[in-house]
Amino acid sequence: MRLHSERTSSLSYGSSSAALLLVRSGLRWRRWLGLFPVLILALLERPAAAQDFRAGTVAERYALLCANCHGRNLEGSGTGPSLLKDTWLHGGDDEGIARSIRTGFPEKGMPVWGTAIPEKEIRAMVIYLRETRAKVLRDQTKVSTPPAVLTAKSQLHDFKLETWVDGVVEPWSLAFLSPTQAIMTEKRGFLYLIENGKLAPRPISGLPMIYVNGQAGLMDVVPHPDYATNGWIYLSYSEQLTKVDGTPAAFTRIIRGKLKDHVLVEQQTIFQAKLGQYIKADWHFGSRIAFDGQGHVFFSIGERGQNQHAQDLTLPGGKIHRLHDDGRIPTDNPFVSDPTAVPSIWSYGHRNPQGLAFSPSTGELFSSEHGPRGGDELNLVRRGLNYGWPVITYGMNYDGTTMTELTAKEGLEQPIAYWVPSLATCGINFYTGDLFPKWKNQLFLASLAAEQFLRIEIDGGKVVSQEVLFKDLGRIRHVITGPDGALYVLLPKRIVRLTPAS
Ligand code: HEC
């Protein structure tokens, strides 16, 4: 019997039921060897249809179930309509499209999918249709070389867009230190001064060791609101350390320092995670910094690709944090009385927030957040609240598999806006200048993948309108208002300036 089980385990290529059969039977293994091909055949003969809807990605499901009638790229065929048209025949909002898929149009030849495809897969299919539509339509309209200067009409103001500084490499953030002097981060780890629109010939030296790889690098730069008197400049960056077991791992660190003779001096740590909390991954670092004007600094940190960390108050990832501007923990932070919680946490359940800004008119804090595929969010961030990731989301996994069917749940905050398909929402800021009076106090949002620059009007904590001001000039990383009232927007290799067209 002993010999038996040893033999059988060496024969059972992952088919535990076959192994079980072998063990139970009193047959000799040599006879079973002869039967083995039969077993394998029996396994292969299982009907495929039952698996098709469950296994695989949404793209594969589309190719399998829909492309015949609606075309590989939604262009339609003799049997099904194009899904690229401006107007939908049966309702073009998310629910309308989901309904079309669920109920089908049997009288016109489209099957009823609601009985075959689970509801969360229908939701994933809606995202897939929207993404593919956006991609096909964008490829049709894309211009090859973006113009250096352009003028454009928009709902409230006509504007001129022109290059302010070029020859920069992946600029991440920008801030003005005076009416004539600005400071800029490049993701590759460089901090530059810009004087009167001229990039300094060499970067500022004395920066800490910055880990640059994938999404890791030098991120935000924001001067203290009292910079003119105290000189403090705040930076966020990815830091790599070696864990006790010898593996390298990285996390977001926040420091401040002062400029002296082109060197960053008097550096102080504002936030640093514990070594055990550093993670071996090059994505989801966040990180933006914002001041409330009342002595506090807020900053965002992504969940570092560890979904569940966003819900775990003992860990700093997937959170928005709040500290005194010198790094001390405010005693009125929401989780200071919980000895296991990270005391700087202000809100949690975030995925990768890369935009953070206070409204100048209401004092409310807003964050933009990279969701999964089809789930980018704009959130109104309030003390101690849970923004739901990964328990609820409007998106699906990047590989096109679904992650949850929940988009809302009791006790979890809803975003005030979300985008399907994802725009890859990045920096946000409110316009505080005077050049565009009708844009005053409205929110502007940069997006990477969609290459769109959005104006967002918020009223009473709700988004009341959105407008794309320009697109297709490259990935947009950030936006700020300059002291001259122009909007400064960070594109891949240049910084552009928006001023009134007239
Ligand atoms: C056998 C052909 C066929 C297949 C397969 C099929 N459809 Fe359709 N589809 C149609 C027809 C026909 C219509 C209805 C057009 C009309 O009302 O005139 C339609 C309508 C739709 C609409 C509504 C379009 C609008 O303008 O409002 C959506 C959305 C849609 N299909 C999605 C899908 C998806 C997703 C799949 C795969 C899961 C799929 N279809 C599979 C034939 C098909």
User: For residue range 55-100, what is the model confidence (pLDDT) as tens digits?
Assistant: 578 888 898 889 989 999 999 988 899 999 888 889 888 899 999 9
Asked whether the predicted pLDDT for residue 438 surpasses 60, the reply is yes
Q: Who wins on pLDDT, 214 or 78?
A: 214
The residue contributing the CA closest to ligand 1 atom 43 is 110
Q: How much distance in Å is there from the Cα of 67 to the middle of ligand 1?
A: 10
Question: How much is the average pLDDT of 333-338?
Answer: 98
Is the C-beta atom of 109 inside 6 A of ligand 1? yes
**Structure-token pair, residue 489:** 């927007």
- Specify the range with the lowest mean pLDDT, choosing from 51-55, 59-63, 469-473: 51-55
Amino acid (1-letter code) at residue 218:
L
Q: Examine the pLDDT at 142 and tell me if it is beyond 80.
A: no
d(CA 417, CA 18): 52
In a 3-state reduction of DSSP, which class is residue 261?
coil
The residues pairing with 242 across neighbouring beta strands, listed in sequence order, are 248
Secondary structure class of 398 (helix, strand, coil): coil
CATH number of 49-141: 1.10.760.10
Per-residue pLDDT band at 1 (split at 50, 70, 90): very low
- For the cut 80, the answer to whether the pLDDT of residue 434 exceeds it is yes
Out of 98-112, 126-140, 346-360, which region has the weakest mean confidence (pLDDT)?
A: 126-140
Whether 284 is catalytic: yes
Q: How many CB atoms are closer than 10 A to CB 35?
A: 13
pLDDT in tens, 340-365: 999 999 999 999 999 999 999 999 99
Tell whether the model's pLDDT for residue 28 goes beyond 50: no
Q: Which of 494, 497, 478, 496 is nearest to 168 (CA)?
A: 494
DSSP state of 371: -
**What pLDDT score was predicted for residue 88?**
87
* Residue to mutate (ligand 1; options 61, 94, 100; most atoms within 8 A of CB): 100
> What is the rounded average pLDDT of the residues 37-58?
47
> Which of 157, 284, 350, 478 is labelled catalytic?
284
Q: Does 108 sit in the ligand 1 pocket, CB within 6 Å?
A: yes
Percent of the chain with pLDDT over 90: 70
- How would residue 143 be classed by pLDDT, with cut points 50, 70 and 90? low
| Residues 171-192 pLDDT 10s | 999 999 999 999 999 999 999 9
Q: At what angle do helices 58-65 and 119-141 cross, to 10 degrees?
A: 90
Give the distance (Å) from ligand 1 centre to CA of residue 76: 9
How many CA within 13 A on the CB side of residue 354?
Answer: 28
Residue with the bigger pLDDT between 278 and 396: it is: 278
pLDDT the model gives residue 26: 39
Rounded to an integer, the average pLDDT of 218-244 is 97
> CA torsion angle for 361, 385, 429, 222 (degrees, to 10)?
110
Per-residue confidence (pLDDT) for residue 178, from 0 to 100: 97
Nearest CA to ligand 1 atom 33: 101
* Matching residue, tokens 């749940």: 409
Domain residue spans in the chain? 2-44, 49-141, 149-500
Instruction: Give the per-residue pLDDT at 29.
Output: 45
Write the DSSP symbol of residue 326. T
Asked if 454 and 497 count as a contact pair (C-beta separation under 8 A), the reply is no
265 or 131, higher pLDDT: 265
Q: What is the mean pLDDT of the chain?
A: 88
How many percent of the chain have pLDDT more than 70? 88
How far is the CA of 466 from the CAs of 89, 213, 217, 456, in angstroms?
A: 25, 34, 31, 5
Nearest to 277 by CA among 313, 236, 316, 318: 316
CATH architecture label of 149-500: 6 Propeller (2.120)
Lowest mean pLDDT among 35-49, 241-255, 263-277: 35-49
pLDDT recorded at residue 376:
94
Q: What separation in Å is there between the alpha carbon of 13 and the centre of ligand 1? A: 42
Query: Which residues share a beta bridge with 457?
Result: 465
Can you give the C-alpha Rg of the chain in angstroms? 27
- The answer on pLDDT for 410 being more than 60 is yes
Looking at the predicted structure, is the pLDDT value of residue 51 above 60? no
Residue of 445, 448, 464, 421 whose CA lies nearest to 131: 421
For ligand 1, the distance from its centroid to the CA atom of residue 372, given in whole angstroms, is 26
Q: At 405, is the pLDDT very low, low, confident or very high (cuts 50, 70, 90)?
A: confident
Pick from 136, 138, 142, 140: nearest CA to 84: 136
- Lowest-pLDDT range of 131-140, 312-321, 471-480: 131-140
Of 139-153, 314-328, 414-428, the range with the lowest mean pLDDT is 139-153
Residue 222, pLDDT score:
98
pLDDT class of 453 with cuts at 50, 70, 90: very high
Q: How far apart are CA 386 and CA 141, in angstroms?
A: 40
Q: How far is CA 272 from CA 268, 301, 310, 408, in A?
A: 11, 11, 17, 33
The residue with tokens 């950030």 is 478
pLDDT exceeds 60 at position 20? no
With residue 10 as reference, give the H or E element that holds it.
helix 2-11
DSSP 311: G
